[in-house]
A and B are shown apart, each in its own frame.
Chain A
Amino acid sequence: MKTDIVQLFENPYLALGVSIAIIMAYLSVNAIMLIWLERKLSARIQRRIGPQRGPFGLMQQIFDMGKLLSKELLTPEHANKLLYVIAPILVFAPVVALSSLFPITSTYIFHDFNIAIVLILAISGINVIGIFLAGWGSNNKYALLGAVRSVAQNISYEIPLILSVIPIVMITRTMSLYDITLAQETYPFILVQPIALIIFIISATAETNRAPFDIPEAESELVAGFHTEYSGMRFGLFFFAEYSNMIFACALATVLFLGGWRGPLLPDAVWFFIKVYALIVLMMWFRWTFPRLRFDQLMKFAWVVLVPLSLINLLITTLVLKIV
C-alpha cells in the first residue's frame, strides 16, 4: 500500500516546502557525489589516481564547493543583466520541480500524479530556455553559438525521447510512474522494449548535453559554450544542473524500463538507486571513451536514425498490442 508523503501534511504549502527542501538537499549532495564519482571514474579509465584530499578524495568536492561559493559573481559589462542572472536558475528549476514524482519505494512516495509523464516531458523542456537565455544574455559569440546549438539539439532529441516513452504508456495504459512500476511486476520492460531503452539512453545523453553529444559546451571549439561567461556559484548551478539532469534522466529510465524499485532481497530504495547509478556510470563511461560528434552529424543522427527507429518501434508495439 502506498502513502503520499505530501498527504501526510495538512497544509499543502508546508508539504511543498518540506519536499522541496528534501529534494534540494538530495540533489546537492548527489551532484557533489556524482562529480566525485566522475572524477574518480575518469581517473581510473585514464590510469590516473584522481582527487585524493580526504578519505577517497571525497573532501576535494567540499573544497571545490567552497571555492565556487566564495568566488565573486562577475557579470560581463554588456550582458543583459536580468537574463544573465535568471538563466542558471531556470536551468536548475525543472529538475527540482520534477524530482518529487519518482516512486523511490513501494510504500512512501512524495507525490503520485496520474499524468506524471506528460508533466515530466513538458517541464523538462524548460531548461533549454535557460540555456538559451544564458547564451544570449552573456553577450559573447561563443556563448551564443553554444546556446543555438543547444536549442537545436534539445529540440531534435526531445522527439525520439518522447517516441521511446510512448510504447511504455501504451503497454501499461497509465501515465503514473507508480503504476508503471507496478506493471513491471513479472518482468521489467527492458525485455520487451530494448530498442526503446537504447533510444531513450541516447536521447537522454543528448538532452543532458553530455559527451559524445556535448557540442553546446564543446570546449575545444567553443571554449565553454553557453556558460563561457559564468563564474562562481552561477557556474556552479550549471554544473549542478548537468548532474541533476543526469540523475533525473537515469531515474526516468529506471522507472520506465528497469522496473523501478523492484528487485530481490534488498530494500526498495536501494534497488532503485543501484539501477540509477548503474545507468549514470554507463553515461560517464560513454563520455570518457568517445570523441564528440559534429553539429550537423548530431542532427542527422537524430532525424535520420533515431526518429525513424523509434517510429518503427512504436508501430511494432502497436501491432503486437493489437494482436495480443
Chain B
Amino acid sequence: MNRFEVEQDPKSRDTYYLNMGPQHPSTHGVMRIKLHLDGERIISAEPIIGYGHRAHEKMAENRDYIQFLPNPSRVDYLGGMIYNVGYCQAVERAMDIEVPERAEYIRIVCNELNRISSHLLWLGTFLMDLGAFTPFLYAFDDREKILDILDRITGSRLTYCYARFGGVILDIDDVFLDNVSNFCTYFVERLKEYEKLVIGNVIFRERTIGVGIFAPDLAQKYAITGPCLRAMGHENDVRKDEPYGIYDRFDFDVPTQTEGDCFARTLVRMEEMRQSIRIIEQAVSDMPNGLFLAARVPRRIRPPEGDYYFCVESPRGSFGMYIASDGSDIPFRLKLRTPSFSHISAMPAVMASTMLADAVAILGSIDIVVPEIDR
C-alpha cells in the first residue's frame, strides 16, 4: 500500500481507480497516473513511468564523449540548448578546456532564448490543461519566433547540437544579434499581454491559487529544484549559487514566491522570462569579438580518472551530470539527474485529496517533460 493512501475500508465499493494515461491529453506524453478516486476527489495518485525510456545513460557507456553530444538535447527536448551546452560545460570543466569569451556569450544568449521558448511552451500547455485554448496559440507563435532565430545559427529547431567542447560550431553574425534585440523589445510588450489575458483572469486565479501546494518538507524529501522550489520561497538558482559559464557577470534577479501553489509557480516562471530577457540584453550589448571555438581542443576527449559532477539550471530545475571517468575516452558511467523525475516523485504527496481537475492543473504547473523523466 502506498504510504500516501488514505485508510480505506476494503469492503467499500464507493471508490474506484482511473488510469490517467498512458495516452491522455494532459499527461504531455506517454505517462500513466493511477488515480484512486472517490467521486471527483483523489484519494491517492501513483505515477507510473518508463513508457518512453530510451536508455540514454546506458548509451553514454557505449560511446565516447564526443559521440554523446547529440543525446543531452534529446533528454529534454524543450530545453535542448541548455542541456547540450551543459554537457559540453561539464566535460570542459573535467578536462580544463578553455572556452573563448565570444563562445561563452553566444552560449548565454542561446541558453536564455531557449529558456524563454521552454517557458512559453509551458505557458501554452498549462493553460490548455486549464481549458483555455487561445494562449496556447499565442505562446506557440512567440516560441516560433525564437526557434526561427535559433534556427538561423544552429540549423535545428528543437534538438540542438550546437555546442562543442571548447565553444560552439558556428559563429553568429549581426543579423542574429539584431533579431535577438528586436525579439527582446517585442517580447517585453507581449509579456504584458499575457499577464492581462492569463494572470489577471479570475477563473485562472480560482483554478490555481491554493491548488497543488508543495508542503515545505517536500522540498528536501524529493529534491525539488527550479521554479517549483522558488515558488516555495527559496531563492535557489544554479546560475546564482554556483555560477557556471559566465553567469556571474550578469545582473539578474531570482524571482521567488512563498505560497508554493500553481499560481506561485506561474508567477515565478513569468518573471523568469523577464529576467532572461535582461540577461540576453546584457549579453548582446557586451558581445565581444574573437574566436567562437577554442583553437586548441584536445583531439581525444579523455577526462582524467575521477568523478565529476556538474549541474546547470534547466527551465525545469537543476539538471545534473555525474561523470565517472576511468581515464578512457568512454565514460565509465554518466548519470543524468533530471528535475522532472524528482518532481513527478512528489506527485503522490501533492495530489492526494485534491480534485481530478486539480491533478491536471498540478501536472501542467510543474512543467513535466516525459522523456526527461524516463530518459
Contacts and interface: CB of A to CB of B under 8 A. Distances in A.
A145 B40 CA distance: 8
A292 B132 contact: yes
Given A218-B357, A220-B360, A294-B357, A211 B131 contact: yes
A282 B124 CA distance: 23
A46 B136 CA distance: 9
Contact of B134 (A45, A214, A294): A45
A48 interface: yes
Interface in A210-230: 211-212, 214-215, 218-221, 223
Majority-rule SS of B interface residues: helix
A296 interface: yes
B131 A292 contact: yes
A215 B360 CA distance: 13
A48 B137 contact: yes
Size bracket of the B interface: 20 to 34
Contacts of B127: 291
B273 interface: no
Nearest to A43: B137
Interface string B332-375: 00000000000000000000000111101000000000000000
Given A141-B16, A290-B201, A293-B206, A214 B131 contact: yes
Nearest to B361: A294
A291 B207 contact: yes
A141 B20 CA distance: 11
A220 B138 CA distance: 19
Interface in A126-170: 141-142, 145, 149
B134 A220 contact: no
Given A47-B137, A47-B141, A294 B206 contact: yes
Contacts of A215: 357
Contacts of A293: 203, 206-207
Nearest to B204: A291
A211 B132 CA distance: 9
A259 B16 CA distance: 50
B128 interface: yes
Nearest to A294: B357
B25 interface: yes
A277 interface: no
A125 B117 CA distance: 47
B270 to A, nearest CB: 16
B40 A295 contact: yes
B18 interface: yes
B24 interface: yes
Interface-central residue, B16, B26, B131, B132, by most chain A CB under 10 Å: B131
A291 B40 contact: no
Contacts of B201: 290-291
A297 interface: yes
B261 interface: no
B18 A297 contact: no
A46 B129 CA distance: 17
A214 B132 CA distance: 11
A288 interface: yes
A42 interface: yes
A214 to B, nearest CB: 7
Contacts of A295: 40, 355-357
A75 interface: no
Interface in B20-39: 24-26
Interface string B80-102: 00000000000000000000000
Q: Which 8 A-B pairs have the closest CB atoms?
A: A292-B131, A46-B137, A291-B132, A291-B130, A220-B26, A220-B129, A294-B357, A291-B131
29 contacts: A42-B134, A46-B134, A46-B138, A47-B141, A141-B16, A141-B18, A145-B356, A214-B131, A220-B128, A220-B130, A220-B131, A221-B357, A223-B25, A288-B134, A289-B197, A290-B132, A290-B201, A291-B130, A291-B201, A291-B203, A292-B130, A292-B207, A293-B207, A294-B206, A294-B358, A295-B355, A295-B357, A296-B355, A297-B207
